[in-house]
Structure 1
Amino acid sequence: MKTNTNRRKNIKFSEWIDIWLQNERPFIKESTYATYTNIIENHIKSSLGTKNINHIQNNDLQNMIFKKLNSGKLNNRKGLSLKTVRDIMTVTRSCLNSAMKKGIIKRKVFEYKFPKNMTGKKIKIFTHTEQSKLFEYIISNLDEKSLGILISLLCGLRIGEICGLKWCDIDFKNEMLSVNRTIQRIYIKKPLLRETRIVISSPKTSSSYRSIPLSKHLIKIMKKFQKEDTFYLISGNKNFIEPRIYRKYFYSILSSLNISKLPFHSLRHTFATQAIELGTDYKTVSEILGHSSVNTTLNLYVHPKMEYKKKCLSLIYQELSSSSKKIKHKTP
């Protein structure tokens, strides 16, 4: 027992976080395991790995936050995004909490703060002109591949969800699309190598499982390409197209149309923003996107343009002005 106690006192954080990750592995998705591994190997071990786990204090965690925000990238030239640093601290804190539960370290309160003047980077959206150019091109050059871009533009699906779509996910009778799987290439950094592989798994979260109603126009288009239930939608056969390859195809179209080279994910942001601008309620947009909270939709995916803000304020003035005139007419 004494030997075990001494071992616990002398264990380095890098040793414990490896043990913690292996204990977590049976309970998390493979893609989540890959994400944790990369965070640990690229960021946490370099900051806290050599420290005795019992000697880690709040100032160590706070200093790590500042360092990652200022020069956290692997080349040490630029800082990481606030979201990435939050993810790093979530993994770090989970590991420390587990150590407390296992009796590896004494129970204590780990506290740290994130700078208030830092905001998350907003993903840009396509302009109305760019949307129109992209839409017109796809309609004029329809095939299985371009159909996936059209669906993302009209329904806000993630690229992994588009790549994972099969024809069995399309209910033509009820005009519905079901999101049941996602495809992604995961990267796992190991001590001597970096492993990559394709994973076909369940959607991002439980709320990402969803059914999306399709317009009659889109249903009519999709019927032209309908294949066997087991075939992938954008490949037209039993072989999937991985996101990395599909992303290159998407960029080639943007380049040919001289459209801003925005990420594929910008189609999702563009869909959400346009839906809100057209008067769709937030809850509906949130469910179509597969968010667990309306706040996620509002904070990440809605980018109202200045003219819509002005229109909103003008409408309020007009409404108040109209009400005021009615009251005056009624007054004897």
Structure 2
Amino acid sequence: MRTGPNIYKRKDGRWEARVLLARKPGGKSRYKYLYASTYREVARAKTNYESALSASIKITPMSSLSFSEASKEWLEAFQKKWKPATYNKYVNCLKKYILPEWEAVAAAGITQECYDALIFHLEETLSGSSLRTINTVIIGCLKHSLKCVPILCKTPTENPKNTRLVTLSEQEAARLTEALCVRSDLSAVGILLTLHSGIRIGELCALRWEDICVEQQILHIRHTLQRIQVPHAAPKQPMTRLQLGLPKNKREREIPMHPAIFQQLQNLSRIYPPSTYLLSGTEKPVEPRTIANRFKRILKDTGIRDIHFHALRHTFATRCVESNINIPALSEMLGHSSIRITVDRYVHLSRKFKQEQIEAVSFTDIVSKNPPGNSGLVSEASSRQESRQGASG
């Protein structure tokens, strides 16, 4: 049967041609369908339509922009909707990874081949998270300038070595807890609180004593503190600044206090004014980098392996899963945007949890029918063997 690119003969006898208009961010394609009674007619119609489509794209003002210009307009259009750290992340992504290859390329000239070549080069060194950010930036720029995404963005695959979450063992957690409890400084209190609440380091640094409700035994997570870049900083001016903003996903939340930390927080809340920060006891906060360095020193002094501060959050979540805590409740305490994130990240990781789950599966009925030694299975196999021998004889 005579066919061409995206040209097919239908069951009703007509010929059908498909013209790719765009690929949506999810990867689904959108086509224009053309019909004719003969192959030659539909092929001619397809060629004419593609020529007209190409001409219309070229004369569209937005699509005549270079990718560099399109990215600037995209950043300006959405800057107010993003957190400052998100905006800086997109700017850095453009400068470091995308614009060096595409700066002079027209936004309308970004083809699947251009994208594939860029990603093939970057995926050798970048993590799946970085590649997802690159996809977000590319899709955002193209959609803003062309009103469509004419390419299919590749879904990054993670290296299993990079996706393994680091947690404290039970022995390490006990040793760290013991070391923290004998210390009297507020940094030790903050680290112990993180181990028993799973809050992020920026949320810990932004925590004030007024966020700790002793009467209800609840932590109110209302802000996060992070050091961010200052866009277009003037010469001799600081390149970064501390930013106090909403927590990740822009959602405040409440976390019940764990009994292991409640009494200590209750006693200290009588000493420090409500408006002061938990980690400093003053109106000036402690930076995330500072508390992370203090945590490293405590690990070294305690003889615990060198791990990231975020491992405390992973440890809390993993212990909650192992204790069979309600997953939706855990997801809310961690501040995840969906339960799926909690399940994918923690539920399947714990060896202890998996062992407990398999031990909970009952095989009583099967064992009672086939007691240890598999005598029932052996007898059945012997019977089948004797039947085959009789048939062959």
**TM-score range normalised by the length of the shorter chain:** 0.7 to 0.9
Task: Return 5+ residue gaps in structure 1 as ranges.
Answer: 71-78, 102-106
TM-score, normalization by structure 1: 0.85
Provide the rounded CA distance (Å) in 2 between the counterparts of 1:109 and 1:191.
Answer: 36
Q: Does the aligned pair in 2 maintain the 1:38–1:188 contact within 8 Å?
A: no
Q: Deviations over 1:284-324 (max 9, x none)?
A: 211110112111112224463434433422331xx221686
The DSSP-based 3-state class of the residue aligned with 2:360 is: helix
| Equivalent-residue separation in structure 1 for 2:365 and 2:60 (angstroms) | 79
Moved more, 163-172 or 186-195: 186-195
2:68 counterpart SS class: helix
Question: How many residues are paired up?
Answer: 308
Q: Does residue 114 of structure 1 match 2:168?
A: no
Is 1:181 matched up with 2:223? yes
1:62 to 85, 108, 116: 116
Q: Secondary structure at the match of 1:35?
A: helix
Q: Distance in 2 between matches of 1:39 and 1:167?
A: 37
Give, in whole Å, the separation in 2 of the partners of 1:152 and 1:298.
Answer: 21
Match of 2:283 among 238, 249, 255: 238
CA contact (8 A) 1:184 1:243 kept: yes
2:214, 2:330 → 1: CA distance?
22
Task: Give, in whole Å, the separation in 1 of the partners of 2:230 and 2:95.
Answer: 9
Say yes or no: does 1:149 pair with 2:191: yes
Extract unaligned runs of 5+ from structure 2. 1-57, 372-393
Residue of structure 1 equivalent to 2:128 = 82
- What letter matches 2:301 in structure 1? S
Counterparts in 2 of 1:275-290, with a 5 A limit?
A: 275-290=320-335
Whose relative contact order is higher, 1 or 2, with alpha carbons under 8 Å and at least 6 apart?
Answer: 1
CA separation in 1, counterparts of 2:166 and 2:267?
A: 33
Deviates more, 1:22-31 or 1:125-134: 22-31
Structure-2 residue corresponding to 1:213: 256
Q: Tell me the secondary structure at the aligned position of residue 80 of structure 1.
A: coil
* Rg (Cα) greater in structure: 2
Cα deviations by residue, 1:162-204 (Å, 9 ceiling, x for unpaired)? 0000011011111111000000011357699892211110111
* Structure 2: distance between partners of 1:230 and 1:297: 33
The letter for the 1-side match of 2:187 is K
Compared with structure 1, are the counterparts of its residues 250 and 10 closer, same or farther at alpha carbon in structure 2 (3 Å cutoff)? Answer: same
Deviations 1:68-90 (A, max 9, x none): 111xxxxxxxx110111011111
SS at match of 2:286: coil
Q: Counterpart amino acid of 1:300? A: R
Stretches of 4+ moved more than 4 A in 1?
4-10, 115-120, 188-194, 322-326
Judged with a 3 Å threshold, the aligned counterparts in structure 2 of structure 1 residues 14 and 248 are, in CA distance, closer, same or farther, namely same
TM-score, reference length from structure 2: 0.72
